[in-house]
Amino acid sequence: MAVTDPRDLHIVVIGAGMGGLGTALAFAKKGFKNIDVYERASNLGFVGAGIQMPPNVIRVLDRLGCWEEIEREATDVKDTSIRQGSTNTELAHVQMPDMREKYGYPHCTGHRASLAGGLENGCKKEKVIKFHFSTELIKVDSYEPRPKITLQPRDGEAYQIECDVLLASDGIKSVTRTQMLGTLGVSSQEEDTGQAAYRIMLKREDMENDPELKALIDCDTVIRWIGEKRHIIAYPVSNHTIYNLSTAQPDSNFAATTNATYTTKGSKSAMLKVYETFCPLVQRMLNLVPDGEVCEWKLRVHKALPTWTHGCVSLLGDACHPTLPHLSQGAAMAIEDGAVLAECISRIPNTQPATIAKALKVFELLRRDHTSMLVDMASYSGRVLHLGEGKAKEERDKEFANHAKNGSVPDKWASPDVQKMIYSYDCVKEAQTKFDELFKSLETPAVAA
Ligand SMILES: Cc1cc2nc3c(=O)[nH]c(=O)nc-3n(C[C@H](O)[C@H](O)[C@H](O)COP(=O)(O)OP(=O)(O)OC[C@H]3O[C@@H](n4cnc5c(N)ncnc54)[C@H](O)[C@@H]3O)c2cc1C
């Protein structure tokens, strides 16, 4: 029997990354009763790495009821320091003591497992969400009127399912994106960033015998050491028991490979060579990384997609707007997408496929400009941070020095004007106030019967 209440629609989410978990939880909180999440991995094993959680995403996590748990292990960032990597000289120091007063929420850092764990526990409390691990989407067989997909369990026969709304949070390597754009006859082009990243987690016990390193893990500061074509960003996580470093450097190991490879076991000596011009403080930290535990990630992005949706299928998160990490907004945007999708689908006036397709277009309209702006800004920030000697760098360093007067910092992540724009943005409120108008303004798409 056809459903009439949107909350009875069968929602299928592909991928249980930050975006997928956030989406499933957001739909459950809106009262949807039938949500299936399919994940290729056998469990939610998250990369051992830190993550920044800015106020705009904490606002969403709080509404989803899972922030309290995540906050217990999070570090409240009080300030940020941008330093010349070679000398450790401070270029700018930006105080951030008043995030809660300004934006209603703090700016925090945490362990990825802590953010994912909070979202997962939130999902587990919702009986309407069913997880299917070790199950991979291999084909989107149709996009409308009801999406049909083929799933491949790791130890079993492939099978087909149908649903009312298919939400693909299958990440940067999204199979759904490739297939959707292929069906529409447009190509899905990857853009080479030329950059790769090491992700490093140092233990407190390895740092606390060195007073300078102990001071780093004890503080509430995010520090960025910058140099030509490379930088390191670092902050404490897990109640100051771990010091997280994330780097960006020229990609030399992945350049020859295209789509297939995203991570590689790196060599410690190669990593030390990449940062050999950085100051002794940085060298001491990199030297603490155990041999054989260096892992390098290719940083990948895509050219802007011509569409995020087709019929009753929508992409979200890294599947449609992957970003360089220099603004620390990738996971935040994926989680926001889920909250906006739930808001849009809960507001549809009827459950016909054409109405669902139109609501997904509203989601894209609500999110496209904002996410594109942040993706562009992250890449701009990377270019500015990675300048080599010359006029442009001199200008940049003057701007760093004058930041207190100007209210703007060349490292856009730390810039109060940019923070204001991103952190005060309430994606759910915007969806609530703009949905009806945008929905009315769109033509109802022709959806196959
Ligand atoms: C070095 C680095 C630092 C970063 N720092 C930050 C930060 O501080 N703050 C921030 O907000 N963001 C940060 N990001 C970005 C952030 O990690 C990503 O933007 C975010 O994880 C994207 O979430 P997602 O759910 O869209 O995709 P993913 O997290 O990639 O999840 C995709 C999921 O889908 C599953 N999957 C894929 N294909 C299939 C399939 N066919 N069938 C079933 N399942 C499938 C995968 O196994 C995975 O679980 C950083 C990124 C990098 C590389």
Candidate of 23, 25, 40 to mutate for ligand 1, largest count of ligand atoms within 8 Å of Cβ: 40
| Token pair recorded at residue 207 | 């740092």
Long-range contacts of 392-399 (CB under 8 A, 24+ apart): 397/91
Candidate of 12, 13, 14, 18 to mutate for ligand 1, largest count of ligand atoms within 8 Å of Cβ: 18
Candidate of 46, 51, 198 to mutate for ligand 1, largest count of ligand atoms within 8 Å of Cβ: 51
Mean pLDDT for the stretch of residues 324-334? 97
In this predicted structure, the answer to whether residue 87 has a pLDDT above a threshold of 60 is yes
| Residue that is written with structure tokens 């082009």 in the block | 189
Residue 372 confidence (pLDDT): 97
Mean pLDDT for the stretch of residues 329-335? 98
Domains of the chain, earliest start first: 6-189+309-441 (3.50.50.60), 191-300 (3.30.9.30)
Other CB atoms closer than 10 Å to residue 71's CB: what's the count? 20
Mean pLDDT for the stretch of residues 43-55? 86
How many percent of the chain have pLDDT more than 90? Answer: 86
Cβ of 266 below 6 Å from ligand 1 = no
Mean pLDDT for the stretch of residues 188-208? 91
The region of weakest confidence among 16-20, 211-215, 264-268 is: 264-268
Q: Which residues contact 167 (CB under 8 A, 6 or more apart)?
A: 11, 12, 13, 14, 20, 23, 313, 314, 316, 338, 341
Cβ of 295 below 6 Å from ligand 1 = no
Higher pLDDT, 44 or 148: 148
- Band of pLDDT at residue 258, cut at 50, 70 and 90: very low
CA distance 245 to 263: 17
Q: What is the pLDDT of residues 419-442, one digit of tens each?
A: 999 999 999 999 999 999 999 999
CA distance 297 to 378: 17
Q: Which residues contact 69 (CB under 8 A, 6 or more apart)?
A: 117, 118, 121
Mean pLDDT for the stretch of residues 23-42? 97
Instruction: Give 446's DSSP letter.
Output: P
| Residue that is written with structure tokens 């000398």 in the block | 87
Mean pLDDT of the chain: 94
- Band of pLDDT at residue 294, cut at 50, 70 and 90: confident
Helix, strand, coil shares of the chain, percent, nearest 5, are: 40, 25, 35
Atom 15 of ligand 1, nearest CA residue:
330
Cβ of 112 below 6 Å from ligand 1 = no
Mean pLDDT for the stretch of residues 337-357? 97
Cβ of 23 below 6 Å from ligand 1 = no
- Band of pLDDT at residue 46, cut at 50, 70 and 90: low
Residue 235 confidence (pLDDT): 96
In this predicted structure, the answer to whether residue 445 has a pLDDT above a threshold of 90 is no
Atom 6 of ligand 1, nearest CA residue:
328
Cβ of 110 below 6 Å from ligand 1 = no
Higher pLDDT, 6 or 187: 6
Residue 291 confidence (pLDDT): 84
Cβ of 176 below 6 Å from ligand 1 = no
Residue 252 confidence (pLDDT): 81
Select from 325, 443, 419 the least CA-distant residue to 375. 325
| Token pair recorded at residue 33 | 């009763």
Higher pLDDT, 187 or 387: 387
Residue 73 confidence (pLDDT): 92
Mean pLDDT for the stretch of residues 200-229? 97
- Band of pLDDT at residue 263, cut at 50, 70 and 90: low
Cβ of 334 below 6 Å from ligand 1 = yes
